[in-house]
Structure 1
Amino acid sequence: MFIKSLLTLSVAIAVSSAHANEYVIEKLAKPSSQHVSLTLDPAQDTFSGMTEISLEVLKPTKYIELNGVDYATQMVKLLGTKNCDLSTEMLKTGKVKFSCDEQIQPGKYTLKIDFTAPYNRQSVGLYKTLDQGVPYLFTQFEMSDARRAFPVFDEPSYKIPFQLTITAPSSQKVYANTPELKTTVNGDMTTHFFDKTPPIPSYLVAMAVGPFEEREVKDMPIPGRIITPQGKIHLGEYAAQAMPKVLAALEDYFGIPYVYKKLDSVAVPEFPFGAMENSGLVTYREDILLLDLATATRSKKQRNISIIAHELAHQWYGNLVTMKWWNDLWLNEAFASWMAAKITTQLNPEFESHLDLPQNNVMALDARLSTKPIRKPIKTEADIMDGLGLAYSKGSAVLAMVENWIGEEAFQQGIRAYLKEFSYKNAEAADLWQALGKASNKDVAGVLKSFIEQSSFPLVKVSQQGKMVTINQSRFTNAGVDAPAQLWNVPVAIKYGAGDQVKTASILLTKENQTIELEFEPEWIYPDQGALGYYRWVLDDKQFAALINKAADTLTVRERLALLSAVDALLDAGVISAAHLMQTLETFISDKHPRVANTALAYLASQKRTFEDASNQHLWPEFIRKSITPAAKQYGLTAKIGEDAAISQLRTQVVSRLGFDGEDQSVINTAKAQARVYLNNPSKVDPYLASTYLNLAAFHGDKNLLDAYMNTFKTTKDPQVRTKMLAAMSYFGKPELQKAVLDYSLTDDVTASDMRTILSGQKYTPEREARLIKWVYTNYDSVAANLPPFALPNLPYYTTAGCDASSLKTTQAFFTDKISEVPGYARSLSKLAEGINTCIALKERELASINSFLKR
């Protein structure tokens, strides 16, 4: 998925200027196929291998370049018209320079290399992990970590067939991208010969070695298995039932059968992301793929289906057709996210996944001046990682907006044409824009380029006089920010009504101002029909009041959810006051759909994190309790048989806010009791409330409870229980227990990919946040060494407290000195400064408004 190398800053800028980048392989040779033979024993700390690469030298040269990190070569030969023993120079740019004393002439050759390397222990490359004390080997090669496992042309444009041969102890099972052709046994070692892959980029090569369990996935057109570490295969039933349905739905949508010879799914106990779409051997973080149906919530089931759909969508978009360069990784991930949402809604409408609005998660980040466009030149791997989460959500939201604009049929027709044209090849974003434009006869490229190649988004102002509506666009900015003027090509859909009449007026807004005539004079206007626009909107006070008055009866649930997010954003923009926002949110706390009430409560609680200080600290608990009372009375604090999952999810918010923010002692006592029950039998505790109970009990817990959490964490074979224990440990409130948890995160019990989870709750309360910050500074070297390499640039976020200028200054002083070691710190410090200064300005501007509201 997305990974950062230890020694490489990354790979490169756009292909057109690749020759100018020291991280890009010099275009002296190109591969046509590669065979890799590895000897892998999970019990050891190192491995050995041999590779043969069929390649063509393109011009006279005395050297050729490949990628490599951490391995050592024993023998390097170039076999062809004139054989040459090559010398090896491993560069700090993630490349290896292989040189010959004599000039190598253009032509076809075989490059043969023997090498050794260590297993990585930070979840990248070919890495080793322990599960219940048993060693396993897994791979995570995206973006640029195949080069840790073997010498390779490790760039996406080098799309070739790979063939793996793996020798391992006979006690171990071995998996790769393709079916096994045969095995040979030599003593206590078995060699596994795997079929050749179709052309794939190196980042999709994968393997796994260990004493796995497996179960067949039936009803697929190709063989498939769920593969798990020991003792967990019974948790794979839900995924095994869902996968054939997801695969069939994708084949139907794309109009192209799944092209690989098998589809294995591996549950990985140490995995830094959700999943990885390796062709034929998809890897998943085990708490996503594996579910105990006795305790699984609807959201866990939805996550399982959605991420399976995401990774399988990649088998077409990303694997069958691959980006030319990393500047289009955003499109790979955006498309798979968009497709996963469509498939999940189609197969499991009961999840109500259509109510997930990805744009709401990222627009606040996208509005900042320090945020880059999601399609941008890529030079270093820090450039790839910068805003990649934004790319998933913004990209998928923009694709949904475009699909709504051109129509589902034209969108599907364009996708199918694109996949057929570029199957087994590389393509770029413009190729997709062209296919969609041709299918729809609309300027798709103009719309997509304006959103993808610019940061931020439009603020659409709608003014109405009679039947005439004037629409104005400007760049959305936070209050007081001076940003360059921008224009977008914006598909705007205005929903409006009067009496029983409801209509929609659509326009492609390409200028600063445009006017349209409605069919009748409206009583109310909602400027984002279907909540599919990637823009914010504003109405005058009279129009806004009319919309709020009609919202419950005239807007869909999705539209009401988008309305809450839009109003919250208007506070940041300085369009409304904090008191006005709070009053609006209170209107929706009793909404007839629990999801809307839940969202309104969450936005209310988020204001506490921004505005709480000595002037109002005593007012917040009572306000939170009062705000939550209607939902608590309506739905109760304990589950009812057969209730809607949205009610259960709302109850989680109610109980959490009552316990943490409202300091309700009866809720705290219940949490303590339920945590003890959970430790003995998780199935006896409401699965929706389990995490809240565990976290709240930890905050008020003692050493005995911490010891119980740690013991359960180390011994459970249920990935969901393990993750809950890990997250709950981060909430222990007493100073000595918090320190014990933080120190525990540096032990071998906690993997690199788990460390972020154990840090997740440490910032709850200013006192605990201060202790975390001191601990990070004191233990910086150990913390930096234990985090996954890609996560290291985010460390400054852990040392900066809230809207605190002094804390920001200390963070800047500490990490600025380390930018030469971790260049990604520079980007993080820039974003932190903007975010905190914006927060400080907001608090100064609106604190009086908040206090006035709280004292009503």
Structure 2
Amino acid sequence: MLSKSLIFSAILLATSASVDAQSNAELHRLATVAKPIEQAVTFNLDPSKERFSGHTTIKLEVLKATQFIELNGLDYAINAAELVGKASCELRDKMLETGKVRLSCEKTLQPGRYTLTIDYTAPYNRNSVGLYKTLDNGVPYLFTQFQMSDARRAIPTFDEPEYKIPFQLTITAPDDQKVFANTPVLETKKSNGMTTHYFDKTPPLPSYLVALSVGPFEVLDVKGMSVPGNIITPQKKSNLAAYSIENTPKILKALEDYFDLPYVYKKLDQVAVPEFPFGAMENAGLVTYREDILLIDPATSTRQAQTSHVNVIAHELAHQWYGNLVTMKWWNDLWLNEAFATWMAAKITLQLFPELETNLSLSQHSAMPYDAQATTSPIRKPVITESDVTDGLGLAYSKGSAVLYMVEQWLGEAVFKQGMRNYIRKFAYKNAEAKDLWNELGKVSNKDVATVLNSFVSQASFPLLTIKLDGQNATLSQQRFVIKGQEAAAQTWHIPITLRYGKGDKTATKTILLDSKTQQIKLDFEPEWILPNDNATGYYRWDLSESQLASLISHAPNKLNERERLDLLSNVDALMESGKINANALMLTLSEFINDTHPKVAKAALTQLLSQHKQYEDDSNKLLWKKLYTTYVEPAFSRYGLKANANEPAATSEIRAALVRALAFETKHQTIITHVKKQASLYLTSPDKVDPYLARSFLQIAAYYGDAELLKSYKKVFETTNNPTQRTNLLLAMGYFGPQELQQQVLDYALSEHVTASDFNYILSGNGKGDERKALYQKWFYQHFERLKERFPPFAKSQLPFYLFSYCDADALKQAQQFFGPMQNEIEGLSKSLKQLELATNTCIMQKQRELVSVNQFLNNL
């Protein structure tokens, strides 16, 4: 028990922290002295120039007597600002450091309606945020990316999601430019080589969903939708739009059916963007995509590319209801926007395209390794700065969608759907919070949905479920899953659980809600095997006794479906990380599934087994790893071969690519390397003649063993191709060039005008392969850091330490801490990134020390 003095000190500290947090929030949030009612913006835009001018008119309401109004602003310069209403005032502007502009008046403004007008100028951004300019094959284009807080770079506006108002855009641009915005054009007027485009007023939108595009685009009509729409591409790329034109009406119709509510905006244009740091953005009526996602040729693309294409379109169109029609009040609920769209996209993709087997892509498997880290924040957490939003944002997609799927299966799909429909109708054109959705789901299900969801989204990590059997009796207990060597506070969850178990030909299921630390249940019979996560629907890990786990593994080929076998492999890997089993047991389990009947399961087992090589190779076992390739990889390669068979499953093509990479990089398989070089050369001139499943691997392997002439060829095609997929494949391959002088050339090329801010991390991807290459890359990284920092989009700067590829290197960690430490007050979120890097590195080192003997035991027994 704390002494009175310690308790008093703790209270003071807590109070001080609360005051500091409130003060910090006030610095970043707009003062609540006024709120907007609607806004009109007039732009004068010419992509050939470096700056633009704008004029905005905001109808607003002053809420209380004040001598100032705050709105958001970055980068722009105000030429004149005036407020007209009960009193008129020429306003003085002051740009604040926290993304706000304070407009001051000498007289006191009384509550009431006013009109604010601002004339301003600003530069086009060149880091893929705000209103930004990019060149595609030397041709300039303008695009916008306003989420999370970059509308303020292009428009003086109330740039917070709760301020949801109608916007009306008017854009003047050169006659030879096509111009698009959220709404249809009402009329155009030409004068002196310029055309003014008057756009319809939008329904109420938060500022982050306002969008425009300007350029000499190619435009193709999309027929069969409930509203008009186009696919809009840069020049010479519309030939790749057919798949989008075919799929978009199907996806839109499926979403309208699910919500039982038509798409509410007046048009649906989709834009292929050549420079884009995200996959896509759900701007109402003008959705933007990284061009290699929207523009693909299904005849020459992989299943992964087709899945990404369909899934991302479905994700962005799902946002038109969830996020656009109903909008979060504040960024602390961004997780739900993204979780819902991710979950919905998976549902629609599986419904319309079952052949893509998206049911075998389990989002929890990508979430849990990150979510398990002791430094990870909950996906619903307090948000003040943009770095708070971006911290763990990827987890919001994967964990959030997995949790929603678990709850949907618990409630039943029909009940969940009705709750969603009720929620969308109730809050249409408004703002809402997570609890509003939970309430609607609770009403239709008569279940305590709020408590279940809150336990998963307001806490980091996830449960580890332990099951002990005694005849027909089962004892279930839960604790926080913790990686061995890390420390974390104890937690409990409300967990929907479905067990499946069997004996002989009999199988049965048991569903419970585990809402305490321990619970006992009775099964229908004493099982031979038990699966703690039926159909892999739960967001938790599970632990069985050694004998029970062995029995489940032995029955897996005949009793578990593909989804469950994939979950079993992932779960066993997690058990090793938590110290419940050792690496030898993990690798033995993985080896059991390398010849699984489904190639996707076989690939998962193979890639997990090979990942141990990267983790555990050292001087004590360098020669032993050759036995792994001889025992498992070479026989599998002999079975699948180098060339695809007619009509073979896509999963077979995917495992072939994994085998080719493993043997080419790790054993220097000469037959493969010779074939690869020929195919890579062919791909440069005739990409449609190369197996799309192998093309990326061919390019990377050829680069690794390539020379200066090959690098020159890669650069030439990269700079001139109009095929977005070919461009991305080449970008991802250039970082693999092996000799140091070529690696240095590629690194220098990364800083050239040919590589955009959004492409930067792609070209770096191969530089972590091998200690010498990693060392050269790290040296270059530190030497050119100031230029690198300038190239990165603002939201990504806090992630710079993670570009060092050194998660298991104590010396590299120390160097990163010394280098980045002094910058922690300059870059928001950097301090947490350094803590995450430290934890990940130390955990990796400890795990290697703990498991190396066990790994060598497995290798010696091959």
- Structure-2-length-normalised TM-score: 0.97
**Structure 2 match to 1:603:** 608
Amino acid at match of 2:454: K
1:31 aligned residue (36, 43, 47) = 36
* Shift in Å, 1:262: 0.1
For residue 855 of structure 1, report the CA deviation from its aligned partner.
1.8
Q: Distance in 1 between matches of 2:166 and 2:23?
A: 24
- 2:570 aligned with 1:565, yes or no? yes
Alpha carbons 1:621, 1:663 under 8 Å: kept: no
Match of 1:286 among 285, 291, 306: 291
Shift of 1:803: 1.1
Q: Does the Cα contact within 8 Å between 2:627 and 2:859 map onto a contact in 1?
A: no
Give the AA of the match of 2:766. G
CA distance in 2, matches of 1:837, 1:625: 32
What is the CA distance between 1:233 and its match in structure 2? Answer: 0.4
Task: Name the CA distance, whole Å, in 1 between partners of 2:532 and 2:805.
Answer: 38
Distance 1:89 1:479 in 2: 51
Q: What CA distance in whole angstroms lies between the structure 2 residues aligned with 1:844 and 1:21?
A: 47
**Is 1:471 aligned to residue 476 of structure 2?**
yes
For residues 443 and 265 of structure 1, what CA distance do their matches in structure 2 show?
40
**Other-structure match for 1:512:** 517
Residue 617 (structure 1) shift: 2.0
How much does 1:626 deviate? 2.4
Residues 1:577 and 2:579 are matched in the alignment? no
**Hey, what's the Cα distance between the residues in 1 that align with 2:23 and 2:539?**
33
Is the contact between residue 379 and residue 458 of structure 2 (CA under 8 Å) also seen in structure 1? yes
Q: Which residue of 2 aligns with 1:807?
A: 812
The aligned residue for residue 57 of structure 2 is: 52
**What is the alpha-carbon distance in structure 1 between the residues aligned to residue 339 and residue 629 of structure 2?**
37
The equivalent position to 1:719 in structure 2, one of 701, 718, 724, is: 724
Deviation at 1:618, TM superposition (A): 2.5
Partner of 1:760: 765
Matching residue of 1:199: 204
SS in 1 for 2:148: coil
Correspondence for 1:440: 445
- Cα deviation for residue 550 of structure 1 reads 0.3
Q: Does 1:99 pair with 2:104?
A: yes
What is the one-letter code of the residue matched to 1:725?
L
- Of 645-654 and 314-323, the range deviating more from structure 2: 645-654
Asked whether 1:298 is paired with 2:303, we answer yes
Instruction: Indicate the residue corresponding to 1:117 in structure 2.
Output: 122
**Which region of structure 1 is more displaced relative to structure 2, 42-51 or 633-642?**
633-642
Partner of 2:27: 22
Distance 1:218 1:622 in 2: 57
Report the counterpart of residue 9 of structure 2 in structure 1. Answer: none
The question of whether the paired residues in 1 share the 8 Å contact of 2:244 and 2:294 is answered with: yes
Specify the SS of the correspondent of 1:259. Answer: coil
Amino acid at match of 2:417: Q
Mapping of 1:786-801 within 5 angstroms?
A: 786-799=791-804, 801=806
- C-alpha distance after superposition, 1:723-742 (max 9, x if no partner): 00100001011100001001
The aligned runs of 1:359-758 (5 Å cut-off) are 359-758=364-763
Structure 1 Cα separation of the partners of residues 627 and 742 of structure 2: 29
* C-alpha contact (below 8 Å) 1:622/1:662 kept by paired residues: no
2:247: which partner in 1? 242
CA distance in 1, matches of 2:25, 2:298: 54
Q: Which residue number corresponds to residue 14 of structure 2?
A: none
Q: In 1, Cα distance between the equivalents of 2:487 and 2:176?
A: 65
User: Equivalents in 1 of 2:392, 2:161: separation in Å?
Assistant: 20
Shift of 1:800: 5.1
Worse-superposed segment, 391-400 or 619-628: 619-628
Quote the offset at 1:481 in angstroms: 2.7
Corresponding residue of 1:5: none
Amino acid at match of 1:795: L
- Indicate which of 124, 127, 141 corresponds to 1:136: 141
CA drift at 1:19: 9.1
Mapping of 1:288-327 within 5 angstroms? 288-327=293-332
1:213 aligns with 2:218: yes
Give the counterpart letter for 1:353 in structure 2: T
1:800/1:808 contact within 8 Å kept: no
How far off its partner does 1:654 sit?
1.0
Deviations along 1:660-682, one digit per CA (max 9) or x if unpaired, are: 12321211121111111111211
Identity across matched positions, percent: 56
CA contact (8 A) 1:246 1:343 kept: yes
Which amino acid counterpart does residue 741 of structure 1 have in structure 2? V
- The residue type equivalent to 1:110 in the other structure is T
Query: Conserved in 2, the CA contact under 8 Å of 1:770 and 1:801?
Result: no
Alignment-mate amino acid for residue 424 of structure 2: L
8 Å CA contact retained: 1:800, 1:807: no
The amino acid of 1:579's aligned partner reads N
Q: Distance in 2 between matches of 1:433 and 1:122?
A: 38
- Counterpart pick for 1:154 among 132, 150, 159: 159
TM-superposed deviation, 1:804? 1.2
For residue 855 of structure 2, the aligned residue among 827, 850, 854 is 850
Is 1:357–2:343 an aligned residue pair? Answer: no
- The alignment's C-alpha RMSD in Å is 1.2
> Could you tell me whether the CA contact under 8 Å between 2:463 and 2:481 is conserved in 1?
yes
Residues of 1 paired with 2:630 and 2:41: CA distance? Answer: 62
Mapped contact 1:18–1:24 kept (Cα < 8 A): no
Residue among 322, 327, 334 paired with 2:339: 334
The gaps in structure 2 that reach 5 residues or longer are 1-17
Whether the 8 Å contact between 1:65 and 1:97 is mirrored in structure 2 is: yes
The letter for the 2-side match of 1:275 is: A
Q: Which moved more, 1:131-140 or 1:624-633?
A: 624-633
Task: Say whether the 8 Å CA contact 2:25–2:384 is kept in structure 1.
Answer: no
For residues 635-680 of structure 1, the C-alpha deviation after alignment (integer angstroms, 9 at most, x for no partner) is 2221001101111111111111111123212111211111111112
Structure 1 window deviating more from structure 2 (806-815 vs 320-329): it is 806-815
CA distance in 1, matches of 2:487, 2:298: 52
Give the structure 2 partner of residue 4 of structure 1.
none
Amino acid at match of 1:415: M
Equivalent-residue separation in structure 2 for 1:224 and 1:799 (angstroms): 43
Letter in 2 for 1:643: E
Q: Which runs of 5+ in 1 are unaligned?
A: 1-12
Aligned-residue offset at 1:683 = 1.0
Alignment check: 8 A CA contact 2:705 2:738 kept: yes
Partner Cα distance (2:235, 2:317) in 1: 25
1:706 shift after superposition: 0.2
Provide the rounded CA distance (Å) in 2 between the counterparts of 1:669 and 1:792. 41
Higher mean C-alpha displacement, 633-642 vs 340-349: 633-642
Cα offset, 1:818, TM superposition: 1.1
Contact conserved, 1:625 with 1:662, CA < 8 A, in 2? no
Q: Determine which structure has greater relative contact order: mean sequence separation of CA pairs < 8 Å that are 6+ residues apart, divided by chain length.
A: 1
Q: Distance in 2 between matches of 1:802 and 1:847?
A: 17
Distance (Å, rounded) in 2 between the aligned partners of 1:813 and 1:362: 30
**Aligned-partner Cα distance in 2 for 1:775–1:90:** 36
Q: What is the TM-score of this pair, normalised by structure 1?
A: 0.97
- How big is the shift at 1:85? 0.3
Partners of 1:819 and 1:108 lie apart in 2 by: 43
* Partner amino acid, structure 2, of 1:847: L
> In the alignment, what sits opposite 1:9?
none
What SS does structure 2 have at the residue aligned with 1:762? helix
Q: CA deviation at 1:813?
A: 0.7
The separation in 1 between residues aligned to 2:767 and 2:444, in whole angstroms, is: 51
Aligned residues: 843
SS at match of 1:843: helix
For 1:415 and 1:792, the matched residues in 2 are separated by 36
Q: Which amino acid aligns with 1:164?
A: L
How many angstroms does 1:711 deviate by? Answer: 0.3
- Output the amino acid matched with 1:406: L
Pairwise CA distance, 1:684: 1.1
Write the distance in 2 (CA, Å) between the matches of 1:18 and 1:636: 64
Aligned residue for 1:772, secondary structure, equals: helix
- For 1:254, the equivalent position in structure 2 comes to 259
Give the whole-Å Cα distance in 2 for the aligned partners of 1:737 and 1:622. 32
Name the CA distance, whole Å, in 2 between partners of 1:625 and 1:253. 51
- Measured in 2, the distance between the counterparts of 1:622 and 1:40 equals 63
4+ runs deviating over 3 angstroms? 16-20
